[in-house]
Structure 1
Amino acid sequence: MSRMMFLNTTASDIPAARTFFTGLGFEFNETFSDENTLCLIINDLTFAMLMTPARFRDFITGGITDTAKEREVLIAVSADSRDAVDVMADKALATGGSAWMDPQDHGFMYGRSFRDLDGHVWEVTWMDQSAVNG
């Protein structure tokens, strides 16, 4: 069975988040997007629900992580090539994101990471499947 996945997190400015992630090549499910929520499509079965803090609080108990100080999650997405990793990371930095950690190069696997406008860490990775599968 293939399962859908919904990552839920905060975005303090929904229009700015839309601009940022559009610049990275992502699309959105408008049915589940409004002034308080942005449904970012990762793939056919995976979505990131970016919500204003007030809307996010409707789904949780307790506090919201201060991303300036701590990490609650590391969000990793794949890329088709090493060059595609660099393209996405460079676009993130050019459109308001900030660098996070040094690039990781293990030969068969390469990744870079950045913080989005709200400080959430995104890692973009490429892996040589032939090295892993054979």
Structure 2
Amino acid sequence: MNLPVADVERATAFYTALGFEKNAMFSNEQASSMTWSDSIAVMLLSHPFYATFTNKQIIDARQQSGMLLALSFDDRAAVDAFTQAALAAGGRELHDPEDHGFMYSRAFEDPDGHGWGPFHMDMAAAEQAMAHQPAAG
């Protein structure tokens, strides 16, 4: 995913504090490639560089919502640790933790206002809870 950021260096430090690793091969003063896993990477792009990929106006994610990003974690403690790292690095918590029994989630914004919702889903509990729900139609 590509995220427009006001300050590449500040955004890089924020995502590094969350556990992302910077891939120097695809990073420079206008962009940082931040790796979460073998299949998930975030490109932090300066506004001028981001603008070379689109003719659309870049939103101020602190004022408008363009997307909400979510990462799945193995347990609630990992959700809390990820969120606490975000808050300690300058993120802003959006609301209290949500516990639906089968799903636990948190919500925060990065310094540029991009919304993140780390969560843990107990699939066995979710299947049991959904078995009692009427089918969507």
The TM-score normalised by the length of structure 1 is 0.88
1:97 maps to a residue whose letter is: G
Is 1:23 aligned to 2:21, yes or no? no
Is 1:63 aligned to 2:62, yes or no? no
The residue that corresponds to 2:97 in the other structure is 103
The residue that corresponds to 2:87 in the other structure is 93
Q: Paired residue for 2:124, among 121, 124, 130?
A: 130
Structure 1 residues 36-58: Cα deviation after superposition (integer angstroms, max 9, x where no partner): 11111132122111100000000
Is 1:76 aligned to 2:74, yes or no? no
- Is the contact made by 2:18 and 2:85 (CA closer than 8 Å) also made in structure 1? yes
Structure 2: any 5+ residue segments left out of the alignment? 129-137
- Is the contact made by 2:32 and 2:43 (CA closer than 8 Å) also made in structure 1? yes
- Distance in 1 (CA, whole Å) between partners of 2:66 and 2:54 is 14
Is 1:14 aligned to 2:14, yes or no? no
Which has more radius of gyration? 2
* Partner SS for 1:58: helix
2:33 maps to a residue whose letter is: C
- Distance in 2 (CA, whole Å) between partners of 1:107 and 1:55 is 43
* Larger deviation, residues 57-66 vs 93-102: 93-102
Structure 1: any 5+ residue segments left out of the alignment? 1-6
4+ residue segments displaced more than 2 Å = 129-134
- Is the contact made by 2:19 and 2:36 (CA closer than 8 Å) also made in structure 1? no
* Partner SS for 1:78: coil
- Is the contact made by 2:8 and 2:29 (CA closer than 8 Å) also made in structure 1? yes
- Is the contact made by 2:70 and 2:118 (CA closer than 8 Å) also made in structure 1? yes
RMSD value, Cα: 1.4
The TM-score normalised by the length of structure 2 is 0.86
- Distance in 1 (CA, whole Å) between partners of 2:74 and 2:27 is 28
Higher strand share: 1
